[in-house]
Amino acid sequence: MVVLGAGPAGLVLGNILVDQGIDCVVLERSTRTHVQTRARAGFLAAHTVRILERHGLAEGLRRRGQPHSTCEFRTEDDRFRLDYSGLGRGERHTVYPQQDLVTDLVTRFLARGGQIRFGTEAVAVCDADGERPTVAVREADGRPGRWRGRYVAGCDGQHGAARRSLPPGTVRHHRDHGVTWLGLLAEAPPSLDAVGYAVHGRGFAGHMARTSDVTRYYLQCEPGTPADAWSEERIWDELDLRMGADKYGPLHRGPLIQRSVVDLRSDVLEPLRHGALFLAGDAAGLISPSAAKGANLAVLEAELLADALTDALRAGDPAGLDAYSARCLTHIWRAQEFSHWMIGLLHGPSGADGESLFHNSLRRSRLASLRTSRAQQDWFADHYVGV
Ligand code: RFL
């Protein structure tokens, strides 16, 4: 079995397969240090934690992850909190930085006898329709190489070789939401004991804890803004303003240790299987980070694919592989729908024309329902923390 990509999808898949005694190599373009220090997600859904526990992959997050179950919405007028562990199915998130999860998964995979070829870039997947598909690679020393397996799992993200190798006719549903965030990591403790969503006339601002001394912030900016366009002081002043620091308390400032530009885009590929090539994680569909679903979907899809591959390779039963694409797409579209709803809740047009005013009034009404309607809160909680 050849797996492309050592992110959450590829590593969960690889771990389950190796645990089932299935020979598996993971090809990863970057270095081990790079994948183990790449800060991205942090909010793991309860379902994700259960999957990781089921496969003996949750030791680190059980020890160092922090339970989390409150979000706070702020507007220019007021604020309200939802404790979603008391709503809907009553589940919570575990906050555990993605780079720590990846580190755990790499360590476990190698300890189980799996093989990871760091610095090996997949260039193309060939003969996916045949019995022995091949992955053409550029090895760490720059030389071309080839890897063969009975199946190939494309877990190499949105710009990977799996996507590039799809046959013509693969459908890509996509949407550019026309919204851009500056994604910031601050070396500073969290400023509130909740996820903070500030819905402001100047644009969205977000606050998400990562560890006791690192916090993620998001700041909506004009599309096309370079990551380094704003000074640290301007960023903190803008975060203070949008998050209402004068009314609700100051933010803990600290050096910004990472900045990226996040254009809110979504896409879904269909189908997720082409012969012996299967897509999982961001390679299968990209979801905007507005509802923190990407890593959770990646883990869910990896388990579905691992179970289906195990049935096919160990018991000769291909039914799970045949059903893989349709099963994943059901989950992916539900997550996309909620993520899209969140984008509509958190962002509005800035104009004073009739259409902008109409949109922003709808948004206010949506927030008011969330604040006052128990049914709406239960719906929110189930979708927010579920996959
Ligand atoms: P990854 O993690 O991108 O891993 C893919 C791996 O493939 C390698 N690769 C290749 N290897 C070999 N050959 C090639 N040709 C290759 N091309 C690429 C890459 O080096 C990489 O190691 O994909 P995967 O496994 O599908 O996991 C997806 C998640 O990483 C992603 O969805 C999340 O990070 C999204 N996301 C969040 N998700 C959550 O569930 N909760 C969150 O709180 C959350 N916050 C976020 C996020 C994504 C963010 N970014 C990247 C916009 C916050 C941010 C800022």
pLDDT given at position 271 = 97
Contacts 24+ apart (CB under 8 A), 202-208: 202/238, 202/241, 202/242, 203/242, 203/347, 203/350, 204/179, 204/242, 204/346, 204/347, 205/238, 205/239, 205/242, 205/243, 206/181, 206/346, 207/239, 207/243, 207/251, 208/42, 208/43, 208/292
Cα separation of 5 and 155, whole Å?
5
pLDDT given at position 386 = 84
Residues 197-222 have a mean pLDDT of 95
* Nearest atom, ligand 1, residue 159 CA: 17
Q: What is the pLDDT of residues 71-100, one digit of tens each?
A: 999 999 999 999 999 999 999 999 999 999
Active-site residue, 68 included: yes
Catalogue all structural domains in the chain, each as residue range(s) with its CATH number: 2-68+88-173+265-342 (3.50.50.60)
- Ligand 1 atom 48: the closest Cα is on which residue? 40
Active-site residue, 207 included: no
Active-site residue, 96 included: no
* Nearest atom, ligand 1, residue 137 CA: 13
Cα separation of 243 and 38, whole Å?
27
Catalytic residue, from 55, 289, 324, 383: name it: 289
In this structure, the residues whose C-beta lies within 6 A of any atom of ligand 1 are 4-10, 27-30, 35, 40-43, 98, 121-122, 155-157, 160-161, 183, 262, 281-282, 289, 292-296, 298
Q: What is the pLDDT of residues 265-303, one digit of tens each?
A: 999 999 999 999 999 999 999 999 889 999 999 999 999
Side-chain half-sphere CA neighbours of 258 within 13 A: 13
* Nearest atom, ligand 1, residue 30 CA: 20
Catalytic residue, from 47, 93, 200, 293: name it: 293
Token representation of residue 364:
């206010």
Active-site residue, 247 included: no
Active-site residue, 289 included: yes
Residues 370-378 have a mean pLDDT of 97
